[in-house]
Amino acid sequence: LLRTLKTGMGCEGSTIQREIVAKSSSLPETTVADKEEVERCFVCLKPRDQLDARTHNMVVNGTGMNNDDPSILESPVVVTCGDWKWITDERKRSGWQSDRAGSLIRFRLKVNETPTMSLTYMTSHATFGNFRVTFQTISHVHTTPLMGCSDVEKFKNQTILPSHGLEGRRQQFSLWDTFIFSGKLDSNDGNANVVMKKTVLDKMD
């Protein structure tokens, strides 16, 4: 189950905020790794666009709706199949959760020419499962139809629909995990690079 998603795409001078202005990010004065190692890692303090489950709780139920509906086109978060919903648990951890296999949820963000996307999600030993991530490019002149329940089977075929699987279950504890999809195709995960190239980079004008 995907519990929380926080995505930033690319680093630019301006930042697009949604609903609530987030506090400016900064690295702590002391870190576990030394300065040289930290500087070798990609850190985006000013993402071009982002969705934070702690502040963004609006979810449009788009199942059975027309893709031309304004609420579908304009909403950053749309459920296109199943029972995805926004929740906050007893420990005040917010996120999007689904209890039905095959459920689909779409997150819409703006990107730059070489997008880098970080996805933060909850993993746990308690009734959590794995999930898959894919991307669709859209523009003002061309809108790709939203995937629905009839498209779920396509996730089983990487040729038809390239996607990347992430594990949501761990042996013990409930902890956050983050996966980065790199537009520079320099991820340590080869399949993530393939998904980025085929679904994003090859589709951009």
**What pLDDT does 205 receive?**
65
Is the model's pLDDT at 9 over the cut of 90?
no
Where residue 142 falls among pLDDT bands split at 50, 70, 90? low
> Which ranges of 1-112 would DSSP assign to H, the alpha helix?
35-40, 70-74
**What pLDDT does 73 receive?**
73
Rounded to a whole number, what is the distance in angstroms from the first to the last CA of the chain? 33
- 106 token code pair: 């779409």
Which range (16-30, 81-95, 164-178) has the least confidence?
Answer: 16-30
Alpha-carbon distance of 118 to 148, in angstroms, equals 24
Largest Cα–Cα separation, the chain: 52
Residue percentage of the chain with pLDDT more than 70: 82
Residue listed under structure tokens 């690079």: 193
